Copies of this chain bind each other. A is one copy, B any other.
Amino acid sequence: MPGMEKLHLEDVLEDSPQTRNLLRVFENDAFALKKYTLGLHNCCQRIMKAQNELCAATQALSQQLRDYEIQTFPLEPEDSILTTTLKQFSSYLDDVSSIQQVLSAQYSETMMYPMSRFIQADLEEVSTLCEMFQIATTEHESAIKNYMKLPKKKENDRQRMEYNEELYGMRKKFHQTGLHYYSSLNALQYKRKCSLLEPILGYMHAQRAFFQMGQDAVCKKEIEEFLNNINASVQGVQKELQQDTKKTVDLIDTLEQQSVQHYHAEPNPEMPYIPPNTQLAQKGGYLFIRSKQLIATRWDRCFFFTQGGNLMCQPKDEVAGSLSLDLNEPGVLAEPYDTDDRRFVFHVSSPKLRKSVVLQAENERERDEWICTINNIVRESGYVKSKSPLQQQANKERTPSTTSSTKESGGSSPDMANVNSSASLGSPHAPKPAPATNDMLLSDVPIQFDLQPLIDDITDVTPNLQGPPKL
């Protein structure tokens, strides 16, 4: 290495000011190099840390995608295409994360290790030798001062010999320490040329391997096709959503227009009068029910419906209805009733059970329809006869408040009706369930979504309830 400045080991013993000055230049250089290398080490460690964090973050994302499956989404069936797709993405992310991990490992091996070794072995050695050299210098100077003070008279030979030997030891130690210190400072001039480059070479090699592995792993045809498929699916869903949104906007418009007449409880006198339908065999809707508590009287809003010859009652937020009155008993009668100075009140009384239910409808037509329907059911011994589809249609048009329930029940597949029917078996308040074999009969009964057991044991029942799911 021509032209490289060097400390001359031959000058250590003489220790002249010139040598000291040159030494100071080397020491300052070593100090600056150590400072610079520690800065470089911090930079590399920062990269290492960020790379480790990136790797962990990728793993966490992959785990989150896999976890979609174990979330209890009430509406997402097991093994949906979405679940499968997310799992597939998760496995690709695992591949990316593995490659990131390899990069981390290579950083650690080819970048961090040589640099740490340089700092700990070489730069620290220089610092240690520097301290040792300072100590040896001080000790040598102290020994020589003592020696120089020796008096001229020859009597004290023992002390002379002692001081001369002490000086011998200290000068030898100083010389040996200095030789090693100087040579380690000289070696540092070679080492700076490898030890600063080695970690960066390691970084570059690792980075190149990383990009190569990454391309091999995620740029292959198979993944491209998968991504194109998923992309097409997503666009398909977005198109469907657009169409659905358009339909929904229209439907909302229609429903709002149709519903204007139902916003008033007492019909607007300007609207055409709709007479009550006296032929209904079933009915559902909100009524207020009177209950007596000690001296006070309560009126609570509750959803009432007829089912299997029973008058059922279900508060809005309950999952199942309960029996309000058995209409099969002989002598049951519904009729207008006057109480509490309220309008549109009627009561249903069962002489045999000595029970009477006092109810309030929103308007006269509603009250009359309820009275007729209940009396119709009592007359038919609580069982609804099959009607022709034409008659059903007529009923629907005249009873808008139950339209949707009927429609929903009509639109259900036989499978679904069975599920609902058997689910209602679990409800303690649903007496005399209709036989499941009579589909016509079932389709006229309002669906009772007894959803609690479905949620508790969703993996068994959900697929049946929701039908075959598609992405």
Is A371 on the interface with B (CB-CB < 8 A)? no
**Is the Cβ of B318 less than 8 Å from the Cβ of A17?**
yes
A71 to B64, CA, bound (A): 47
**Is the Cβ of A75 less than 8 Å from the Cβ of B404?**
no
**Is the Cβ of A211 less than 8 Å from the Cβ of B214?**
yes
Is A241 on the interface with B (CB-CB < 8 A)? yes
**Is the Cβ of B164 less than 8 Å from the Cβ of A266?**
yes
A64 to B45, CA, bound (A): 13
Give the Cβ gap from A315 to chain B, nearest Cβ, in Å: 7
Give the Cβ gap from A362 to chain B, nearest Cβ, in Å: 8
Q: What 1/0 flags go to A1-18 for Cβ under 8 Å of B?
A: 111110011111111111
Taking CB as reference atom, which chain B residue is nearest A99? B211
**Is the Cβ of B255 less than 8 Å from the Cβ of A9?**
yes
Residues of chain A at interface, number, CB under 8 A: 175
Is A193 on the interface with B (CB-CB < 8 A)? yes
**Is the Cβ of A3 less than 8 Å from the Cβ of B466?**
yes
Give the residues in chain B near A148, CB-CB below 8 Å. 288, 299, 301, 342, 360, 362
Given A29-B74, A196-B82, A208-B219, verify A3-B230 contact (CB < 8 Å).
no
Give the residues in chain B near A407, CB-CB below 8 Å. 10
**Is the Cβ of B201 less than 8 Å from the Cβ of A230?**
yes
A74 to B23, CA, bound (A): 11
Is A252 on the interface with B (CB-CB < 8 A)? yes
**Is the Cβ of A237 less than 8 Å from the Cβ of B343?**
no
Give the residues in chain B near A26, CB-CB below 8 Å. 74-75
Q: What 1/0 flags go to A27-67 for Cβ under 8 Å of B?
A: 01100110010011001101101110110111011001101
- A89-144 with Cβ < 8 A to chain B: 89, 92-93, 96, 141, 144
Taking CB as reference atom, which chain B residue is nearest A467? B3
Taking CB as reference atom, which chain B residue is nearest A185? B75
Is A21 on the interface with B (CB-CB < 8 A)? yes
Give the Cβ gap from A270 to chain B, nearest Cβ, in Å: 13
**Is the Cβ of B68 less than 8 Å from the Cβ of A43?**
no
A212 to B196, CA, bound (A): 29
Is A263 on the interface with B (CB-CB < 8 A)? yes
Given A200-B86, A214-B214, A245-B187, verify A29-B76 contact (CB < 8 Å).
yes
Is A387 on the interface with B (CB-CB < 8 A)? no
**Is the Cβ of A8 less than 8 Å from the Cβ of B204?**
no
Is A151 on the interface with B (CB-CB < 8 A)? yes
Give the residues in chain B near A61, CB-CB below 8 Å. 40, 43-44, 46-47, 203
Give the residues in chain B near A224, CB-CB below 8 Å. 208
Give the Cβ gap from A419 to chain B, nearest Cβ, in Å: 13
Give the residues in chain B near A380, CB-CB below 8 Å. none
> Would you mind naming 10 contact pairs between A and B with Cβ atoms under 8 Å apart?
A1-B470, A4-B470, A11-B408, A17-B317, A46-B53, A47-B57, A92-B204, A179-B252, A210-B214, A211-B218
4 closest A-B pairs by CB? A211-B214, A50-B54, A190-B241, A10-B404
